Amino acid sequence: MNQRQDLAGRRVVLGLSGGIACYKSAELLRLLVKAGATVQVVMTAGAQRFITPETMQALSGQPVLLDTWDAREPNVMPHINLTRGADAVLVAPASADFIARLAQGRAEDLLSLTCLARPWGVGEQPCPLVLAPAMNREMWAHPATRRNVAQVQADGALVLGVEAGAQACGEVGDGRMLEPPAIVEELVAALSPRPLAGRRLLITAGPTFEAIDPVRGITNLSSGKMGFAIARAAREAGAEVTLVAGPVHLDTPRGVRRIDVRSALQMLEAVMPLADEHDVFVATAAVADWRPASLSAHKIKKDGKKIAPTFELSENPDILAAVSARSRERGAPYCVGFAAESEQLERHAREKLLRKRVPLIIGNLGPATFGRDDNSLLLVDAQGATPLPVDGQATDKLTLARLLMADLADRLASRPLSPVSGTPE
């Protein structure tokens, strides 16, 4: 199976302004190239104080541009040539001074001149400008910086957030540049089609854990990877996403609101008040069907006994069925269920479709995919069953999630937005 490439075929101009965060830019460049992008690096004089052009050239495979008057350009206009046909200009790090220059429309170096000369919507396909700020915490909080950030945003730039933590100066606070994987994720989202813009998706993911005593419990092998991939793909497609996650060790996708729960009852308590506020409910979580009827206050001890303890089980609530019933009353949310089976996938998925009274069930063979990074799905609705991907071959879960979101957008095309949702962009 070929490695997924999020930015395959994309042309990205990567700009570096001066700052210690330039050390992260080498890893960022490596990840961009690994994701399939062709990257042209432009560096300011300040950036060259922190990292060499030779390093960036070796990683990009392209000559690094430094000078407005670069004679290698036949027309001596690198600021024009760089962005014609480029998919995005990404400046990382974007210093406080560089953001101020953009806000004022100044263009005294090649990078700021390139940003100013990029197509931004007048007669040509726009070239998005994405800024990853990096600066001292006081500089980030300063009113002048806040005004400049607001101005470049008003002018059409996408300004990514910053992280909090220890800074090179020894202080601690907001202002650190995002880590390279997060910047790549944000860039992919910025360049993605947005067929779910204006929609709100509520997604459950991962297993639940039903406690027997303070140290033991009933759970399953669900890793949560498929649900988290769906949350990321939905956000990329323009949706506002809330993710209710069981006990998993996965990073929250950028731009996604996450609510952590442990048990099926906690998941129900989190989901039901939110269901009415969302257009779509995607029940990816592998919710335990049963829980102990009572919880032992202390660890159950063996004490040398050969007889295993017994305990009574109670049935857990059916979260998907409960949301589906709510949906039939008010017409939303559109409910999507998952069926993790071990055999006769289409048959059991269709039985679940009818039993839960939902429009779509997504089936997969659980034992073959739990914990793995790839999967294949079967979409079962009233009209029939469709494999995803169409060739039925397993592919990585993020690619699957993107295919699923495209399919979902088509299914929702004729449905009105939830009353609390906005107008699609």
According to DSSP, residue 20 is labeled: T
Is residue 195 reached through a cis peptide bond, with omega within 30 degrees of 0 on the bond before it? no
Only one residue has tokens 């929702």, namely 412
Among 126, 124, 139, CA closest to 19: 139
Q: How far apart, in whole angstroms, are the C-alpha atoms of residue 19 and residue 40?
A: 19
Q: How far apart, in whole angstroms, are the C-alpha atoms of residue 133 and residue 125?
A: 25
Residue 319 annotated as part of some ligand binding site = yes
> Greatest CA span in the chain, whole angstroms?
87
Residue 352 annotated as part of some ligand binding site = yes
Q: How far apart, in whole angstroms, are the C-alpha atoms of residue 246 and residue 262?
A: 5
3-state secondary structure (DSSP) of residue 406: helix
Would you put residue 221 in left (φ > 0), alpha (ψ -120 to 50) or beta? alpha
Helices (H), 61-203: 78-81, 96-104, 110-117, 137-141, 143-154, 180-191
Residue 301 annotated as part of some ligand binding site = no
Q: Which helix (H) or strand (E) holds 179?
A: none
Contact 279, 418 (CB under 8 A): yes
Residue 320 annotated as part of some ligand binding site = yes
From residue 370, give the alpha-carbon distance in Å to each of 2, 287, 353, 377, 405.
Answer: 21, 14, 22, 13, 21
Residue 289 annotated as part of some ligand binding site = yes
Residue 338 annotated as part of some ligand binding site = yes
Q: How far apart, in whole angstroms, are the C-alpha atoms of residue 110 and residue 99?
A: 14
Q: How far apart, in whole angstroms, are the C-alpha atoms of residue 348 and residue 179?
A: 43
Q: How far apart are the first and last CA of the chain?
A: 35
Catalytic residues: 169
Annotated binding site for CTP: 289, 299, 317-320, 338, 352, 356
